[in-house]
Chains A and B, each alone.
Chain A
Amino acid sequence: MRAGLRVVLAASVLAVALLRAAPAAAIERSFAGSTQLDYLFVPAETGGPGGRSVYDGFTTEAALKLAADVSDRLSANVKVCYGCHGFELPMAYFDFRVADELVFRVGRFSPSFGAFNIRQDPANHVTSDNPLPYDMGRMLRITDWNLGVLPSPFPDNGIEIGGTHWFGERAQLDYAAYATSGFKAPAGSNDLAWSQSQTRGGNLIDNNGWPAGGGRVVATFRIGEANDITVGGSVMYGTWDPSNRFTYLIGGGDLSARIGRTQVRLEYLVRRQTFAPPPGAPYKLVVPPSGEESFEKHGAYLEVERTMTETVTLLLRADGLYRAGNLPVTSPLAPRAAVFRYTAAGTVALAPGFRLKASAELWAFSNDVPVHQDLEAAFHLGVVGTF
């Protein structure tokens, strides 16, 4: 909590500094915010072999963002969020724009990876939760799986160079390359410790001094006036342990199409990570003589969203995770484990900028796929407001 208060204080100081940095006429500022209250009902949360492991009941996610255009070339963004782990600072950065094709971003931000990141705010997607590859705490059996492939948002400290270019009126090409602190975990871990990348981790500094790096390329093609298709590829690589010995490599591909009032989105992510089981620690598979192990975590989602009227939007989604690799014997997961989820969701505008959200989910968990399968159901009901 103390760390959270520090973040809010720092963000407040930065916001005040931005507001006072120049005469009112010289800086264009805009505020935006959103709040989602969600109730997750899991009628028969057995918790599987690992015990009860779900953040059900009421949760609130709130965000307040200030964007300031200091000059034609320099803009600043500060965003403070409140969610399941208290206060967080997902944005505190400057953009210095040389041209549309060359923008330098410095500070704290989620580096460009994947297509979902840009819609991560709960006000910008139909469901109350993220797709499983990007799950940030709303999945069932959360601790068994240690969240998704790349829990979103994933703010980090660093620099990103990016830009966009239009080729006529039909094709847009975007790129981004970045260096950030990278994800972290203590020595001896067998997976990333996501909390160490968050404010609740107690600090926002690197644990090994070596930056992680990555990039993204996106191409958008306009087909007629009401249709477009976007294809993207992303990669991220870094070391996660204090001694820079073990690595993670995350790759992703995404495809989205808008056909009139219908949007189709498909995204695939995979993370390959190396680690070393502590000597003598019992693991499910035989540890190689080198002492170095690895696992892969795959995730994908396919969703179809249809704006039925100006008031109602419906969505169907299928998503899943698959993990393959060695584990401590205490883990409830088998060396090959999978989870699939099928979602039907919708939103209804109750007032401009204020919507009701509802979704029903069917979960299927498998250990030693496809031998055994557990089914569970979950239901979300929430409201989300924006300004």
Chain B
Amino acid sequence: MLLASACATTARDGLDAAQLPTEVQPDYAVFARRCSKCHQLARPLGSGIHDDGLWADYVDRMRRQPGSGISPADTRPILRFLHYYSSVSLAAARMPDGGSR
């Protein structure tokens, strides 16, 4: 039943990496690996944060969680991806049709 439902939906917890610009894909890979250990990727992606400063605090808080597996060096590609994601989603939200086209 679960698999049947899955086939009937295009909803994702994360993003389709193949649809991302080539230069963003390695950063997304780090984000997807590190940020899915304790929660679904939909949590950060759906947080509504668009500010780089907020993202830096957010990722730093997560990095300091015990056993996070997020090293200080990981934060750079993660923040680069989140900056890209915020910019794209904010631009889409500002389009008259909400970026649906």
Contact = CB atoms under 8 A, between A and B. Distances in A.
Contact of A118 (B36, B46, B65): B65
Interface string B13-47: 11110000000000000000100111110110111
B42 A386 contact: yes
A226 B37 CA distance: 11
A174 B12 CA distance: 32
A119 interface: yes
A28 B69 CA distance: 24
Contact of B39 (A30, A123, A218, A263): A123
Contacts of A311: 6, 9, 11-13
Contacts of B57: 28, 30, 69, 75
Given A30-B49, A351-B11, A75 B67 contact: no
B38 A312 contact: no
Contact of B61 (A67, A162, A355, A358): A67
A174 B71 contact: no
Contacts of A32: 43, 47
- The dominant DSSP class at the B interface is loop
Interface residues of B, number: 41
Interface string A86-118: 000000000001001001000000001001001
Contacts of A115: 67
Contacts of A176: 66
B9 to A, nearest CB: 6
Interface in A1-45: 28, 30, 32
B24 to A, nearest CB: 16
A387 B46 contact: yes
Contacts of A187: none
A232 interface: yes
A124 B62 CA distance: 14
B38 A124 contact: yes
Nearest to B8: A348
Contacts of A222: 69, 71
Given A123-B43, A164-B66, A310 B71 contact: no
B13 A226 contact: no
B48 interface: yes
Interface in A141-191: 162, 164, 166, 169, 172, 174, 176
Q: Name which of B46, B48, B66, B72 has the most chain A CB atoms within 10 A of its CB.
A: B66
Contacts of A279: none
A226 B5 contact: no
A30 B55 CA distance: 10
A350 B11 contact: yes
B95 to A, nearest CB: 18
Interface string A343-378: 000111111111110100000000000000000000
Contact of B64 (A103, A218, A256): A103
A387 B42 CA distance: 8
Contacts of B45: 352-353
Contacts of B64: 97, 100, 103, 164
A115 B12 CA distance: 26
B67 to A, nearest CB: 5
A124 B41 CA distance: 10
B58 A30 contact: yes
Given A103-B64, A172-B69, A312-B6, A349 B12 contact: yes
Given A118-B67, A172-B68, A353-B43, 13 more contacts: A28-B51, A30-B47, A32-B43, A124-B38, A164-B68, A222-B69, A256-B67, A346-B2, A348-B2, A348-B6, A352-B45, A352-B46, A387-B47
11 contacts: A30-B49, A121-B39, A162-B66, A174-B67, A218-B66, A310-B15, A311-B9, A350-B5, A350-B11, A354-B11, A358-B1
Interface of A: 28, 30, 32, 67, 69, 75, 97, 100, 103, 112, 115, 118-119, 121, 123-124, 162, 164, 166, 169, 172, 174, 176, 216, 218, 220, 222, 225-226, 228, 230, 232, 256, 258, 263, 307-312, 314, 346-356, 358, 386-387
